[in-house]
Structure 1
Amino acid sequence: MTSSDITALLSPVDLGPVRLRNRVFVPGHTTNFGHANHPTERHAAYHAERARGGVGLIITEGIRVHPTSAGRHISLGSFDDDSIPAYAAVAEAVQAHGTRLFAQLLHTGRQANGDATRTAAWSPGTTPWAAGTHIPHAMGRSDIALVVRSFGAAARRMRQAGYDGVEIHLGHGHLIEQFLSPFTNTRTDAYGGSADGRLRFAREVLAEVVAQAPGLPLGIRVSTDEFLPGGLTPPDMVGIVDRLRQEFPLLYVHASHAAYHGSYSLATQMADMSFRHAHFRHHAALFKKEIPALPVLAVCRLDSLPEAAELVASGEADLVGLARPHIADPHLVRRAEEGRAHEVRGCIACNQGCVGRLEASLPIACVVNPEVGDEGAWARLRSARPAGTRRVLVVGAGPSGMEAALSAHRAGHEVTLAEAGAALGGGIAVAATVPGRERLALMVTDLARELADSAVDIRFGERVSTADLLPGGRLDGYDDVVVATGARPGRRELPGGPPVFDVLETVAALGDDTSPLRGTVLVRDDQGTWTAACLAEALARAGARVHVLSPTASFASKITTYSRLALTRRLGELGTRSHVMRDVHTARGDTVVLRDTLSGHTEELTGVTAVVDVALPVADDGLYRELDARDDAPRVHVVGDANAPRTALEAVYEGRLAGTFLTDAVTGAELLAHTP
């Protein structure tokens, strides 16, 4: 679609009494920026940046209405009136830029608390949300009444804080959906049994919200399909929403999907790059068809404004939500309005910096936007940066080197980017050639475009040695050298056993139908990242019989649960076998002997035609080490995998940090790390 195709998307629209400047909204998504369950200055700066970027509506992340849903202190809650000033500060920051702000209210139910607070989670029954998790408390009538009152009280506080409306979360397997769903609600009292009984809790919550916050615009978020056997289906949810909108003054229905359950369902909630664009658009379209009088908000894997505009143009939705794209680029709407849509940094749907960090109880980050959640701190540090122009050489044009070159250029320095190869992108460009990981190329494309629009001098086929940079050398005269030379794949030979392919050799052979990688392949995974996982999937799809070997107790341990649940389903359908807590003991011919890392017991895997060794990579840091050891060399910085082999998330962050705070990147990192 062209820029003219998004005209309707960027035009004003009314949601009842709420006037929005366009049809784009940021849906609620957890940030982990909270403190003592209250929003912080980081929330205000984060949402204000997206409001400044032109979005019409922002819906906050889920605000817990009662301490039994609080869990960690970094989540948000509104348990008493002391929370009102903090929420008011966020509202003022957002509304100052012409964006409307709704508060999403929820109780997470059975997936709350656990070890975090040493109290029991609350649910309609006693079934845990996943195997191995804690058993919840089956709520009594007094518990239910308390939570109902808490929803109303939280809505009243949001009204006092100046919010433009509230969204009650009836989806994603949280507490209200746990009551709605026959999958989780097996009660036989007035709050269970029939469809009417299961709906009672939701009706009481909405009635209390209307009573305690009269006139406050009210929307609901639902899961159109739970993707669970015996769970709620799209026809079920259409019927539920239709009944609720006849009884309550609903402003809209926000059509999401999935349940918080330890199965494939959860993987669809934050659909990664393995899902196609707008994979779940039919959910919004169903509500538009069946309840045309009720405005519909669509969400999930709407990757860009032109793609999201398809849903508005086709009449499938009234508003479109882009959460991760707004994490990646908070100004994507403003850029489109000003004819600069080509400048947007696109979301690559990797789930690494956003969801992956949430699982580790860390604030969200973003691979393509290193400043997420620290917008205010980066701005303050930039303003205090010493003036002056330096000559900077960046060695290596992978993601860390490209970002370092751009950031140093934007900081006012004279920058040369030297790449030994013939193309930009480094390891990310290689990974993007693996089937299923193609969207990684978007990051390289965006960085390359920004470099092309800059004054950075890019030199291909340029191998840089220490001698080149010393006084009298052919590259003498640079004040700073940023070493971004990446890492080399590890490799462990198996003398007398099957042929061994390292990561790069495996990628290069993916298209070779005569390769031994088409037979029975053992993938040795010492990393637990996407490297082994995507190679295993690509090989299996090409016809190989794949076994994945991991020395740890879990498969793909460093991949977020949201993505891993979909990955394991795909690998299972492809017949892939996993061997956890195993390593290679010996090999002979086409037999590999595996050893149990717990007991030492051995077992044989026969007929192996090839081994893919996803060993720990080795930093390619020779240039850094040599320069660092000399007194007559330029000042040297090392970033990305050359610093320590990790992922693109750290690589891009370190590149931004080094280029922006070239005179003292370490101090910049320390100050950013202590952002309140």
Structure 2
Amino acid sequence: MAYSYLFSPSTIRGMEMQSKVIMGSMHVGLEGEENGLEKLTAFYVRRAKEHVGLIVTGGAAVSPEGSGGTHFMSIYKDDDIAHWRNLTDKVHEAGGKIALQLFHAGRYAYKAANGLEPVAPSPLQSPINPDQPRELTDSEVEELIRSFSSAARRAKEAGFDAVEIMGSEGYLINQFVSPVTNKRTDRWGGNFENRIRFSLEIAKAVRRETGNEYPIIFRMSGLDLIENSTTEDETFLWAEKLAEADVDLLNIGIGWHESRVPTISMKVPRNNFVYIAEGIKAHVPIPVVASNRINNPDDAEAILKSGKADYISMARPFLADPEILTKAKENRLQEINTCIACNQACLDHVFEGKSASCLVNPEAGRELTLTLSPAAKAKNILVIGGGPAGLEAAKTAALRGHKVTLADNKTEIGGQLNYSRIVPGKSEFNETIRYYKAVLEKNQVAIHLGETIVEDHPLVKEADEIVVAAGIIPRTPEITGINHSHVISYQDVFEERANIKGAVVIIGGGGIACDLASFLYEKGHKDISMLQRSSRFAKGIGKTTRWATILELKKKGVQMLGGVTYKEVLPEGVLVSIEGEDKMIKGETVITASGQLPNPALYEAISQTGKPVHVIGGARHALGLDAKKAIYEGTMTGRAL
């Protein structure tokens, strides 16, 4: 495909863009680390080289109390001008363009993070924040407008090519617009005209401060996904008024952080919210940007060609593969490491106070440390195990110049990713397997499938160095009667070896058990119970997706019983004790999904041969379905060979 729309040059108020793709704003947390500015600069420079039209930074606080924390960018001091100048210079040297996002968290700011009391249009506490905000006075609202415009001036002086005003995702500006969070009765609240006044005055002030030649983007909420919030007609009117306020581009955001509707996880279908941008585009004379769950160049091209949007925003796809656009331009689509929207190493890390990375690309955020140097001496490397750890180790070793062989006793690569990819809402894992197939083939990795490798296998004898990345086994809990014929393991189910009858009882409540329940429901099994000793289900699933997983299972009628003591597995089900009272959980089929155990036997056997051998993944410890740890281990091992 030529991608004539995707790579069509354009100009926004004099700023030339080499493609119609904007790298959307992401807070990555690197600026809070040691050598943070250097790390953040390397992160953006790596992506600036790859045909991105415009990079938008993470949110830069326009005032101290509006910061997301000490590890966020800021632009409220004149000293910040010189601080960011090196970053913009380096991005420009790499051939890129970069905009600074002007940000105020409002009631989403944490007092524990920045030491200051949060402020908001009204003193209403967010359900995701322990702090109640203080209501802004009229004069403070005016001062914040000046803070935004002064921040824009600093951004321009620091060399940023544009600014984006953050008015979406439930942050301060969005809080003023919504009647849910704005209960004021003065000129900044009440009717819709008053509620949007703050955003319009900011846009006008930024224009006055930066002049007529400087691009201004406004990230507006196209759909709050909050009950009784801004209506569709009000959203259209807001967009029209922003255009009249001399904004150049409307970047359409979806949902608030407190929304109880998933907006960016892999369970959300691709391109799910493009229609929101399309609706707004019909009401304004300025370009509109579509965002959320657009992770594929073909989809982006189709959206642009259809006229539903003028630009495409991709954020996390640039974490997964900085070269996504370059590979599209060079017709190397199979080599794109697609963002699977898992959230595990990006958003989950950020909410844990860590810097962001990427499950499928551990190099993201580690551009200065995870460099790839050629091997000092090319070796014959044997990787045993085609799961995520083994695949990444084989890929990395091959990229460094080693001759690599990958062996697995299964008939296809992927390991337990093959379980994940068949779970409803998790088909994006197919993309990860496709990527590894393509990159291993390109780098001439010899793949031997359906072979059981033992210590005296010819491949072992031929290898200079060996990586054992196979060996995980399901854990069988110690419960009386667990060996009954109607008790099977989760592997039996995912590999379709089991005959499942009647009501199903799942022993376990973690990520594997949740996936299993969803998979079984999709297969037509509607009477499902999950049991576990802990009272907390979906443990191990990240904060940004755990709530949605539990909500989905509840909607499907899956019974989740925590705090149980297992008494006995009987032919009619599982006898448990809950708060001292015995209860029979009926089930004709009982499935164990209560974790995994490492099986280091092959590693130990090969070690006895005297061959240099490394052990990673399930052969080393019970990683389970934690592909993030597995892929990270794989890339580190591939670099150490």
The bucket for the TM-score relative to the shorter chain is: over 0.9
Match of 1:264 in 2: 260
Aligned ranges 1:311-350 → 2 under 5 Å:
311-350=303-342
CA contact (8 A) 2:573 2:589 kept: no
Structure 1 residues 303, 138: CA separation in 2 closer, same or farther (over 3 Å shift)? Answer: same
CA contact (8 A) 2:70 2:113 kept: no
Aligned ranges 1:431-580 → 2 under 5 Å:
431-468=420-457, 475-492=460-477, 494-496=479-481, 499-509=486-496, 515-516=500-501, 518-519=502-503, 521-525=504-508, 528-529=510-511, 531-541=512-522, 542-580=524-562
Pick one of 618, 628, 648 that aligns with 2:627.
Answer: 648
How far apart are residue 79 of structure 1 and its match?
2.6
In the aligned structure 1, how far is the partner of 2:215 from the partner of 2:459?
68
CA contact (8 A) 1:173 1:259 kept: yes
Q: Gapped runs of 5+ residues in structure 2?
A: none
* 2:358 paired with 1:358: no
In the aligned structure 1, how far is the partner of 2:265 from the partner of 2:333?
23
In the aligned structure 1, how far is the partner of 2:325 from the partner of 2:306?
20
Structure 1 residues 579, 135: CA separation in 2 closer, same or farther (over 3 Å shift)? Answer: farther
CA contact (8 A) 1:356 1:559 kept: no
Identity %: 28
In the aligned structure 1, how far is the partner of 2:584 from the partner of 2:249?
57
How far apart are residue 431 of structure 1 and its match?
2.5
In the aligned structure 1, how far is the partner of 2:517 from the partner of 2:53?
42
CA contact (8 A) 1:288 1:315 kept: no
CA contact (8 A) 1:264 1:569 kept: no
SS of 2:419 mapped into structure 1: helix
Match of 1:617 in 2: 596
CA contact (8 A) 1:42 1:374 kept: yes
Match of 2:232 in 1: 234
In the aligned structure 1, how far is the partner of 2:591 from the partner of 2:125?
38
Per-residue Cα deviation, 1:609-641 (whole angstroms, up to 9, x for no partner): 33332212111221223444x4x5111111222
Match of 2:154 in 1: 157
* 2:218 paired with 1:220: yes
In the aligned structure 2, how far is the partner of 1:574 from the partner of 1:287?
34
Aligned ranges 1:153-192 → 2 under 5 Å:
153-192=150-189
How many residues align? The count is 635
Match of 1:367 in 2: 359
Structure 1 residues 474, 20: CA separation in 2 closer, same or farther (over 3 Å shift)? Answer: closer
SS of 1:14 mapped into structure 2: strand
Structure 1 residues 543, 503: CA separation in 2 closer, same or farther (over 3 Å shift)? Answer: closer
CA contact (8 A) 2:68 2:105 kept: no
How far apart are residue 563 of structure 1 and its match?
2.3
In the aligned structure 2, how far is the partner of 1:345 from the partner of 1:298?
21
Question: Which stretch has the larger CA shift, 634-643 or 534-543?
Answer: 534-543
Match of 2:16 in 1: 19
* 2:364 paired with 1:387: no
In the aligned structure 2, how far is the partner of 1:486 from the partner of 1:311?
44
* 2:118 paired with 1:121: yes
Match of 1:584 in 2: 566
Structure 1 residues 276, 28: CA separation in 2 closer, same or farther (over 3 Å shift)? Answer: same
- For 1:204, the aligned partner's letter is E
How far apart are residue 132 of structure 1 and its match?
7.2
CA contact (8 A) 2:398 2:445 kept: yes
CA contact (8 A) 2:380 2:404 kept: yes
CA contact (8 A) 1:591 1:604 kept: no
SS of 2:529 mapped into structure 1: strand
How far apart are residue 212 of structure 1 and its match?
2.9
Alpha-carbon RMSD across the aligned residues, in angstroms, is 2.4
> What's the TM-score once normalised by structure 1's chain length?
0.89
In the aligned structure 2, how far is the partner of 1:37 from the partner of 1:389?
34
Pick one of 197, 202, 207 that aligns with 2:199.
Answer: 202
In the aligned structure 2, how far is the partner of 1:467 from the partner of 1:453?
29
CA contact (8 A) 1:104 1:169 kept: yes
How far apart are residue 522 of structure 1 and its match?
3.0
Structure 1 residues 318, 490: CA separation in 2 closer, same or farther (over 3 Å shift)? Answer: same
In the aligned structure 2, how far is the partner of 1:368 from the partner of 1:488?
23
In the aligned structure 2, how far is the partner of 1:89 from the partner of 1:404?
35
How far apart are residue 149 of structure 1 and its match?
2.4
In the aligned structure 2, how far is the partner of 1:162 from the partner of 1:595?
66
In the aligned structure 1, how far is the partner of 2:105 from the partner of 2:200?
17
Structure 1 residues 500, 358: CA separation in 2 closer, same or farther (over 3 Å shift)? Answer: farther
Q: Gapped runs of 5+ residues in structure 1?
A: 663-676
- For 2:365, the aligned partner's letter is G
In the aligned structure 2, how far is the partner of 1:313 from the partner of 1:565?
36
Structure 1 residues 523, 223: CA separation in 2 closer, same or farther (over 3 Å shift)? Answer: farther
Structure 1 residues 580, 494: CA separation in 2 closer, same or farther (over 3 Å shift)? Answer: closer
Pick one of 282, 285, 304 that aligns with 1:289.
Answer: 282
- For 1:179, the aligned partner's letter is F
In the aligned structure 2, how far is the partner of 1:607 from the partner of 1:168?
56
CA contact (8 A) 2:110 2:131 kept: no
How far apart are residue 230 of structure 1 and its match?
0.4
- For 2:488, the aligned partner's letter is F
In the aligned structure 2, how far is the partner of 1:99 from the partner of 1:467?
53
In the aligned structure 1, how far is the partner of 2:638 from the partner of 2:408?
17
Per-residue Cα deviation, 1:538-589 (whole angstroms, up to 9, x for no partner): 2233232223334444332322333234333322321223334444344445
Structure 1 residues 170, 71: CA separation in 2 closer, same or farther (over 3 Å shift)? Answer: closer
Match of 1:668 in 2: none
CA contact (8 A) 1:395 1:483 kept: yes
In the aligned structure 1, how far is the partner of 2:361 from the partner of 2:640?
16
In the aligned structure 2, how far is the partner of 1:87 from the partner of 1:538?
48
In the aligned structure 1, how far is the partner of 2:563 from the partner of 2:118?
32
Match of 2:297 in 1: 305
* 2:640 paired with 1:661: yes
Per-residue Cα deviation, 1:70-122 (whole angstroms, up to 9, x for no partner): 24322222231222223222212222232221111111111211332443322
- For 1:439, the aligned partner's letter is E
SS of 2:328 mapped into structure 1: helix
- For 2:253, the aligned partner's letter is S
- For 1:505, the aligned partner's letter is D
CA contact (8 A) 1:509 1:515 kept: no
CA contact (8 A) 2:375 2:401 kept: no
- For 1:323, the aligned partner's letter is A
SS of 1:451 mapped into structure 2: helix
Structure 1 residues 368, 395: CA separation in 2 closer, same or farther (over 3 Å shift)? Answer: same
In the aligned structure 2, how far is the partner of 1:63 from the partner of 1:38?
18
How far apart are residue 603 of structure 1 and its match?
5.0
Aligned ranges 1:240-251 → 2 under 5 Å:
240-246=238-244, 248-251=245-248
SS of 1:116 mapped into structure 2: helix
- For 1:243, the aligned partner's letter is K
Match of 2:49 in 1: 52
Structure 1 residues 582, 187: CA separation in 2 closer, same or farther (over 3 Å shift)? Answer: farther
Structure 1 residues 550, 492: CA separation in 2 closer, same or farther (over 3 Å shift)? Answer: closer
In the aligned structure 2, how far is the partner of 1:37 from the partner of 1:465?
45
Per-residue Cα deviation, 1:275-329 (whole angstroms, up to 9, x for no partner): 21100010111112122x1100111111211111111100011111111211111
- For 1:264, the aligned partner's letter is R
CA contact (8 A) 2:394 2:638 kept: yes
How far apart are residue 130 of structure 1 and its match?
1.4
- For 1:373, the aligned partner's letter is G
